[in-house]
Amino acid sequence: MATPISHSDGLRRPGTKPLRSSSPKTQYLILYNFVSAVLWATVLGRVLMLVPLVGFGRTYAGVGNFAKWTQTIAVLEIVHAAIGLVRAPISTTGMQVASRLLLVWGIVNNFPSLAKSAGYSSMLVAWSVTEVIRYSYFVLSLSGYSPGFITWLRYNTFYVLYPMGISSECWLIYKAIGPASKLRQEYAWFLQLILLILSGYGFICSVYTYDVTTAKGHEGQGKAVV
């Protein structure tokens, strides 16, 4: 599930001098976000290279395990929120990380044949682009810079990447229900529940995105009239 956008990230105004903080906390967070950005950039690069060369059917073989462990590292973000290292609600962070772990461990890892579909590749593209932007944003912000272009990407690519990501996730969950029922019926019921929750959440976010986009359009028309 895509990371929600919050406008309370405490952006600094353009022109602010970079911070030379020696705080172990700040240095650790810079390192964590930098490594995460590099890992997700690697996932993105592999997917974009593999799909044209070998097709969707071979994407998992080339990047599946790497993407799985890259996403698993995000469990640290739950720890960060739990110990107060970052200002993020642990419940929201936990749900976001857990939903992705369900995809990479509970679905694709158990039913790798599902990863041969375009939905798996599109999910990885949506995740990796989102995370490269997000982690790069945090690296620059924690370093004291005002990443204007990265900030713009962070708050605008959401409108494209979120629908792309959640629709891919829902597709994979839907396709996994059949195979899961052969293993254990309760597993299939659980996936049906998750699919219902994600679909409802996706619908709410789609309505929100439409409202925001419409509001911006009306605002632009009003400025044009003036």
Parts of the chain with a pLDDT under 70: 1-22, 201-226
pLDDT score, position 222: 38
pLDDT computed for residue 3 by the predictor: 54
How much is the pLDDT for 218? Answer: 37
Q: Note the pLDDT of residue 201.
A: 62
> According to DSSP H, which parts of 55-89 are helical?
59-72, 75-82
What is the phi/psi pair of residue 110, to 5°? Answer: -80, -30
pLDDT tens string 179-206: 999 999 999 999 999 999 988 765 555 5
DSSP 82-135: HTTSSS--HHHHHHHHHHHHIIIIIIITT-GGGGGSHHHHHHHHHHHHHHHHHH
Please report, to the nearest 10 degrees, the dihedral formed by the alpha carbons of residues 84, 89, 93, 94 taken in order.
90
Q: What is the pLDDT of residue 77?
A: 97
- Chain centroid to CA 47: 15
Q: How high is the pLDDT of residue 149?
A: 92
Q: Is the pTM of this model over 0.75?
A: yes
Cα–Cα distance measured from residue 94 to residue 78, given in angstroms and rounded to the nearest whole number: 6
Q: Which residues are marked as active site? A: 162, 169
